[in-house]
Amino acid sequence: VPSSSMMLYSLHGPFTSPVCSFSTNPGKSSIAPFRNLKRPLQFLGLFEVSLCHVTHIPAYKVTGEKNEEQVLNAIEAYTEHRQDITSRALNILFDIVRIERCTQLLRALKLVITALKCHKYDKNIQVTGSAALFYLTNSEYRPQQSTRLRQQVIQVVLNGMESYQEVTVQRNCCLTLCNFSIPEELEFQYRRVNELLLNILNPTRQDESIQRIAVHLCNALVCQVDNDHKEAVGRMGFVMTMLRLIQKKLGDKICDQVMEFSWSALWNITDETPSNCEMFLNYNGMKLFLECLKEFP
């Protein structure tokens, strides 16, 4: 029989089946006695224990790294109280969904959302969770996701953007937002998402890759929306932010996607919107346009 140092016993539900969790890496023989049980264990914690890879484990629910099921069981079991294990389990889930089709999509999404909400200020969980969300929300999975679930994803992504200015979290969150129909699916958080993106587009602190994604999102958000939305975004400093980005690119003599998307965004936000046109002119937008035309004919 496995020694007590290898196991942690507790009770599942109203004093019924035992729960067992290995804390070391025992040999395969250690699991043999459990195969003689009249009923399988309700739960067996084998996360980061080699036994998770054996066949015919006598438990209804097993945590481990062997497959998607075991990893999701680990996230479900440990999210609330074991954020170190949760972070590692999320990282394994990311590796799985990056190269394989997720077979339990809705469960995976709900568990990742819960982990991100529960550990809003844990950087590792925010990085790995947001990376997993990028793959779990791509176009092939969209038909399986309800509007409510996709809105929950958007909200937790925006939470991450608010809480962390760290490059990896910001990039993961922006890339995940690109998986949604814009502006339609982001309209319920329209002001919030625009404020976060404009904050990202501070050219003194963000790297090129994030700027490119953020400008693309900004452009999409002001395309095909009504004038009220455009005017609201204009009052947030949208016009000035885009002109500042273009001015920096002009000074560096670089005409790239950031500059192109910025001009496109200005075109969209000023279209049939007099207040934004006025801002564009007051901030010397026409002068900047002519300078760009001269530099990049």
Q: Which residue has the higher pLDDT, 9 or 294?
A: 294
Task: Quote the CA–CA distance of 71 and 93 in Å, as a whole number.
Answer: 6
- The answer to whether residue 141 is domain-embedded is no
Task: Quote the CA–CA distance of 179 and 149 in Å, as a whole number.
Answer: 14
What's residue 26's pLDDT? 56
What tens digit of pLDDT does each residue of 186-224 get?
999 999 999 999 999 976 566 788 999 999 999 999 998
Task: Quote the CA–CA distance of 284 and 88 in Å, as a whole number.
Answer: 51
Percentage of the chain lying above the pLDDT 70 cut? 86
- The answer to whether residue 145 is domain-embedded is no
What's residue 51's pLDDT? 82
What tens digit of pLDDT does each residue of 213-257 get?
999 999 999 998 999 999 999 999 999 999 999 999 999 999 999
Enclosing domain of residue 285: 188-296
Task: Quote the CA–CA distance of 160 and 166 in Å, as a whole number.
Answer: 10
Mean pLDDT, to the nearest integer, of 251-274?
95
Please give the structure tokens belonging to residue 197. 């993106």
State phi, psi for 47 to the nearest 5 degrees: -65, 130
What's residue 9's pLDDT? 34
Sort residue 272 into left (φ over 0), alpha (ψ -120 to 50) or beta. Answer: left
User: 275: domain CATH number?
Assistant: 1.25.10.30
Q: Indicate if the pLDDT at residue 53 is higher than 90.
A: no
- The answer to whether residue 202 is domain-embedded is yes
Q: How confident is the model at residue 164 (pLDDT cuts 50, 70, 90)?
A: confident
- The answer to whether residue 24 is domain-embedded is no
Listed in sequence order, the residues at least 6 apart from 154 whose beta carbon sits closer than 8 Å to its beta carbon are: 177, 180, 185, 186, 188, 189, 193
Mean pLDDT, to the nearest integer, of 270-286?
96
Q: Which residue has the higher pLDDT, 65 or 54?
A: 65
Mean pLDDT, to the nearest integer, of 177-188?
96
What tens digit of pLDDT does each residue of 120-144 get?
999 999 999 999 999 999 999 999 9
What's residue 25's pLDDT? 54
Number of structural domains (the chain) is 1
Mean pLDDT, to the nearest integer, of 171-193?
96
Q: Indicate if the pLDDT at residue 58 is higher than 90.
A: no
Sort residue 211 into left (φ over 0), alpha (ψ -120 to 50) or beta. Answer: alpha
DSSP letter string over 191-258? Answer: HHHHHHHHHHT-TTT--HHHHHHHHHHHHHHTTT--HHHHHHHHHTTHHHHHHHHHHHHHHTT---HH
Percentage of the chain lying above the pLDDT 90 cut? 74
Q: How confident is the model at residue 161 (pLDDT cuts 50, 70, 90)?
A: very high
Q: How confident is the model at residue 27 (pLDDT cuts 50, 70, 90)?
A: low
Half-sphere exposure of 58 (CA within 13 A, CB side): 17
- The answer to whether residue 227 is domain-embedded is yes
Please give the structure tokens belonging to residue 126. 């925010």
- The answer to whether residue 199 is domain-embedded is yes
Please give the structure tokens belonging to residue 280. 């564009």
- The answer to whether residue 214 is domain-embedded is yes
63-71 contacts, C-beta under 8 A, 24 or more apart: 63/89, 65/92, 67/96, 68/93, 68/96, 68/100, 68/102, 68/103, 68/104, 68/108, 69/104, 70/46, 71/96
